[in-house]
Structure 1
Amino acid sequence: MLSVYEGFFSGGARIVHSDVVTGLQEGGLHRQRVLSVHGEVHREATRQRMEDDACYRALTAAGVDVTTLGRSFGPGSGAAGTFTGSELADTARAMAGADVVLSLKEQPLALLNQAGLPRRPVIVCLHRSDPEHQGAALDELKAAIADGTVVACVCCAESTRVAYQEAGIPESLLHVIPNGVDLLRFCPGPARRIVLRGALGIPPTAPVVVFAARYDAMKDVPLFLRAARVWLAREPHGHVLMCGAGMSAANPGLVADVSAAFGADLTRLAPRLHPLGVRRDMEVVYAASDVVALTSAWGEAAPLCLIEGMMCGAVPVSTDVGDTADIVEGHGILTPPDAESIALAWTGAIAGRDAFGPALARGRERFSRTRMIAAYAALITRVHAEATLPPLPETL
């Protein structure tokens, strides 16, 4: 099986998909390869090289062969959707050894739709709930379906299935496989909680909110920061952690957003706002937190941060976008996109953390990585079997 990535960069979709590929490789039923269109990506105010990416390292450690066309994505990177003869030859060689191709989201279809490539059944893995915001990618998806190249679409959430069906994708092609996480890795950890808090100078009993997201407009970082200002002003011992690509003092956009949101309170409150950037130990960060927050305005489907944080014992507090209402129900709090309401919800979640605990523990299996990988394996096996069926005899 060949998985085609647009590139390696921080984001829940790449984490989930790489976990699926790794799990299938570990299971031994499917031999995995990965082809990345871009070898490095410049986004979220960060240069992200493929070789430095945590997903790349996990894949190669599991024995998955990862190659790239070597492109660089960012300002001035050239026209999208055009490929050289050498790039098409490399793609053809990668596809020739595969029985089934997985496309991580619809963007790689600009490559897979090129004429002259080997015909292989393609499964597109969809991880957002806003197909209309994906530029030309939706048209590429429709073209690949009309051509018979795309034979199935995996939707990571029910909201994804509904959005793409409404956008004109045939219902029969849309299969919902909810996101899952490694429950052995993402679990409550008292020792983790103490160690990270000690490293950051946070007292053991101080209330902590974590925001795990890349620096992107859909995450509505300014809204989160306005809520953080309100909450930190009311909680004299509270701390806020920010993790993800672009969530560091090296990002001038984030620095400006913090200054705008905190205003006259910047000097007084900023010492309790911790921009940590990209972390490789998110299970530790979540375990050290009381609340995992999300303030996204659009595009989310099944946000990985909410699931990972919940499994580590943090109470999820989120705006209503994608499948967040279903994920949070019974486990946390849904809020309107208003800073005052969000800050109050964080306080309520911390006060009721013990009450949410039993529901979080009972719901763990629903978010299992094992369940997710088994569902992917079943769909891939079915697609492969249907692709290799002998042709029906012609009727006289």
Structure 2
Amino acid sequence: MLSVYDGFFSGGARILHSDVVLGLQEGGQHHQVLSVHAEVLREATRQAMEDDACYRSLTASGVEVGSLGRVSGLPGGPDTDSTLFTGPELATTARAMAGADVILSLKEQPLALLNQAGLPRRPVIVSLHRSDPENQGGALDELKAAIADGTVVACVCCAESTRAAYEAAGIPAEVLHVIPNGVDLLRFRPDPARRLRLRDTLGIPDSAPVVVFAARYDAMKNVPLFLRAARAWLRQEPDGHVLMCGAGMAAGQPGLHADIDAAFEGDLALADRLHLLGVRGDMETVYAASDVVALTSAWGEAAPLCLIEGMMCGAVPVATDVGDSAAIVAGHGFLTPPDPDAIASAWADAAAARADLAPVLERSRERFSRTRMIASYATLIDQVHTESFRPPLPEPPLPEPL
């Protein structure tokens, strides 16, 4: 198996897909990964492949990871972010593909590479992780071309909203397969020791209510709305604290600071209880230390990983109605309109209901199991592999002459 990534940078889709690769390798498949980009500047954060947590996890488990060496967005440096691929890049891709029976494409962006003429013919499965195919630049056209060509034989949708959106955008229903996201239940679980340790590090009392926002700094995440809700909630919760983590959620991000200034209007006493944690490699600890996991996205979400991971660690989810968030939150937390006061009120209700909802969250764990997800991926891959090597049917006999 070969997985092709656009690049290694912080985000739920890469975390999820890398976990799938690790799980499939644990199950006996042999996997390698090819990344188009080796380094990118995204969300005002310089992200090199070798520094990424997913890269380190894959290589530590024996998965070979290579790259075309491209860079994107770095100030003063070369920018090879284009769909024009060089001879050496295509040769590297061909060598990686030649040793694989099936190709997994992490989202549709790598199809700009995999659709190039002259590469080995291998069946491709595309994993889709958003619910806004029309907002992905030329990637939707690449996906349609690859399906028409017979290169892409299946698409894994991580949510029903993804399947519906891509079918509405013209992708044939028969290639769309829904495999809901799952997480490692041994890693993501309530943990009182982790909870106390992180709270102690941040100077947060054990009894204080805590809201976590795990997202990259991107317009779809609606960070200004989250910050307005945070101000409203911190004003009514004098002991409350808010954690923000993800790419761009750090002290050196000028856009984030401008949003904080606009939302808090110079109220430094409230802003002091806003903790900017940046990219974290211990999200199980961050979630375990929290009472509420928040999502304020405006569009594009499918099955947000933060809601699932947070719930499995005991944090009550509160989300806007995007993608499959309503289905994930139903019975486990609260759905809100995109209004800061309504969101702040829901956070207060969620924190107060945390103890009562704990048994409900515990009973839902199997639904969000990584084991279930990986088994479904393995079944689809086996099916694609078997059908791709099925011998052609014999030609029907010619009719007897009259």
Same fold (TM over 0.5): yes
SS of equivalent to 1:240:
strand
Deviation at 1:152, TM superposition (A): 0.1
Which whole-Å CA distance do the structure 2 matches of 1:66 and 1:73 have between them? Answer: 19
* 2:57 is equivalent to residue 58 of structure 1: yes
* 2:13 is equivalent to residue 24 of structure 1: no
Contact 2:53 2:281 (8 Å CA) reproduced: yes
Stretches of structure 2 lacking an aligned partner (at least 5 in a row):
none
- Which residue does 1:392 correspond to in 2? 393
Aligned partner letter, 1:130: D
* 2:83 is equivalent to residue 84 of structure 1: no
Pairing of 1:98-137 with structure 2 (within 5 A): 98-137=100-139
Per-residue CA shift, 1:4-27, capped at 9, x if unaligned?
000000000000000000011111
Deviation at 1:78, TM superposition (A): 4.1
SS of equivalent to 1:264:
coil
Deviation at 1:143, TM superposition (A): 0.3
SS of equivalent to 1:275:
strand
Q: Which runs of 4+ in 1 moved over 2 A?
A: none
Per-residue CA shift, 1:244-292, capped at 9, x if unaligned?
0000111111011100110032x12111000000011100000000000
- Which residue does 1:49 correspond to in 2? 48
Contact 2:72 2:81 (8 Å CA) reproduced: no
Per-residue CA shift, 1:142-186, capped at 9, x if unaligned?
000010000000000000000000000000000000000000000
Seq. identity, %: 76
Deviation at 1:299, TM superposition (A): 0.3
Pairing of 1:301-320 with structure 2 (within 5 A): 301-320=302-321
Contact 2:146 2:152 (8 Å CA) reproduced: yes
Deviation at 1:103, TM superposition (A): 0.2
SS of equivalent to 1:116:
coil
SS of equivalent to 1:194:
helix
Per-residue CA shift, 1:333-376, capped at 9, x if unaligned?
00000000000000000111122111100000000000000000
Per-residue CA shift, 1:80-117, capped at 9, x if unaligned?
21100000000000000000000000000000000000
- Which residue does 1:170 correspond to in 2? 172
Contact 2:216 2:248 (8 Å CA) reproduced: yes
Deviation at 1:41, TM superposition (A): 1.1
Which whole-Å CA distance do the structure 1 matches of 2:150 and 2:237 have between them? Answer: 57
* 2:282 is equivalent to residue 295 of structure 1: no
Stretches of structure 1 lacking an aligned partner (at least 5 in a row):
none
Deviation at 1:79, TM superposition (A): 5.3
- Which residue does 2:239 correspond to in 1? 237
Which whole-Å CA distance do the structure 1 matches of 2:369 and 2:40 have between them? Answer: 30
Which whole-Å CA distance do the structure 2 matches of 1:105 and 1:300 have between them? Answer: 13
Pairing of 1:1-396 with structure 2 (within 5 A): 1-28=1-28, 30-74=29-73, 77-78=79-80, 80-265=82-267, 267-395=268-396, 396=398
Using the size of structure 2 for normalisation, the TM-score is 0.97
Aligned partner letter, 1:345: A
Deviation at 1:73, TM superposition (A): 1.6
Which whole-Å CA distance do the structure 2 matches of 1:78 and 1:376 have between them? Answer: 32
Give the CA RMSD over aligned residues: 0.8
